[in-house]
Amino acid sequence: MAKIAIVGAGFAGHTAALYLGSKLGRDHEVTMINMSDRFLYVPSLVWVGVGHMDVEKTRFPLKSVYDKVNVRFVHGQVTDVYPDDQYLLADRRDAGGQVRVDYDYLVMATGPKLNFEGTPGLGPEKGNTYSICTAAHAVQARGKYLETVERLRRGEKQRIVVGTGHPGATCQGAAFEYISNIHKDLVKRGLRHQATITYLSNERALGDFGVRGLHVRQKGQMMSSEQFLGAIFKDYDLKVEIQKGVKEVQSGTIYWEDFNGNTGETTYDYAMLIPQFTGMPIKYTGRDGQDVSDKVVNSAGFVLVDGIYGLPYQVLAETPEAWPAAYQNRNYRNIFAAGIAFAPPGPISIPHTTPNNLSITAAPPRTGMVSGIIGRIVALNIVDLVKHGRMTHHERMSEMAAACIASLGDSLWDGAAATIVMYPVVPDFHRYPNEEGRDLFVSHMEMGLAGAWMKRMIHTTFMHKLQGRIGWQLIPE
């Protein structure tokens, strides 16, 4: 009997658990260890953060789902992994104490550590800014936002800043959605004219999103994501401050350095800034008691897999096969990583270092659809190994399509969403020798009310799928 352990029930880990449980769970042992006892549908937290959705509509209990698909659930936080002896330790959150989980195969799908400490003064707990990265953070952000609304109603001017709070942050898409929903909400309340709203980002260009931007062919003409978003921001009267890495936040003031090495500040009354993502702090100990972290994770704590690491950016950009295909650690072949937990071989966007030697580079996103796809690939490869002793599923991000529907207002009557499709996620200039490195027939961008309906439909559909309800396997990741 094979034992499979999964650490983390986000999009990647939960998807892997559904596949592994349904395909192996009756005859083998599949265990999920997760810090929360509920799944969280993170994409909809943007609506929670403006008070348009109750947070309970974004989550559901995990154990009842796992009971249906033959997965054992441990409500706990993994602290130690012993890869030579093939077991892990977790601090239980439901009953106290520590639990040992033995494994033949291990899937690391922890998601990120939100590194608020990486920027002095950042974050809702010990800092001066807010976040929509977790359910608790989104509820806190909603409270501060509604407080800001009340100030506007009293006739006070308010400065709202939304964006990234670290020179190496990712998830600019979430910031774009949040700032757009704030704009739409204030328009409906008749208060938009009293607020100055600023988008502050480490991106090289507006619409870069950590994926080197996007170009599409519209009505016979080329259009960039910079032009696409620029038109939206102009229409919404949103101020844009890009190419800036936030270095410190004090009450009312954000301090940054720009691409040219100049320092400056942006003032605010309410700020939602996405922190840097790093790997979760887990100890990896060998049979002799020695630290073997360097065999498992990189310096940021992300799990090393079958990518090619250490290539200069120009070489990496011309080597799509440098991106991992099976998401399998090379030193411990029974350890896999999915979603944000895997270490990318480098950035997708063009990196930039200032004259002061500060790297301001958007990190590559590995969330949402990409996470789900990788979770499925990892699960099916483990099924292959258990049943046949070999892997047959491989898909690099340089071969992977991704779709994003970014909410620009959640109303099904006068809302909107920006629909963005790109193929592949990581440009491949050999297969697609254009300035984009992507398939211009598949890649697409458009905005409209239909996108708002689709965004809500996806929320409902995925909450159905991720609860393992009838037909869940028919719904693509």
pLDDT 10s digits, 432-474: 998 789 999 999 999 999 999 999 999 999 999 999 999 999 9
Per-residue DSSP letter, 395: -
For residue 389, the model assigns a pLDDT of 96
pLDDT at 96 over 90: no
Residue 32: pLDDT band (50, 70, 90) is very high
pLDDT at 340 over 90: yes
Residue 220: pLDDT band (50, 70, 90) is confident
pLDDT at 219 over 80: no
Q: What is the 3-state secondary structure (H, E, C) of 202-216?
A: CCCCCCCCCCCCCEE
As a whole number, mean pLDDT of residues 4-31 equals: 97
Q: How many CA atoms are closer than 13 Å to the CA of 173, on its beta-carbon side? A: 25
For residue 274, the model assigns a pLDDT of 98
How far is the CA of 308 from the CAs of 224, 249, 316, 330, in angstroms?
A: 30, 36, 9, 11
As a whole number, mean pLDDT of residues 168-183 equals: 97
For residue 378, the model assigns a pLDDT of 98
How far is the CA of 91 from the CAs of 175, 302, 335, in angstroms?
A: 33, 21, 21
* CA 432 – CA 420 distance, rounded (Å): 19
* CA 346 – CA 302 distance, rounded (Å): 12
For residue 218, the model assigns a pLDDT of 81
Q: By C-alpha distance, which of 40, 36, 31 is closest to 75?
A: 36
As a whole number, mean pLDDT of residues 67-95 equals: 97
As a whole number, mean pLDDT of residues 1-24 equals: 97
For residue 410, the model assigns a pLDDT of 86
Residue matched to tokens 């996620």: 425
For residue 137, the model assigns a pLDDT of 98
Verify cis geometry, omega within 30 degrees of 0, for the bond prior to 424: yes
Do residues 306 and 324 make contact, with C-beta atoms less than 8 angstroms apart?
A: yes
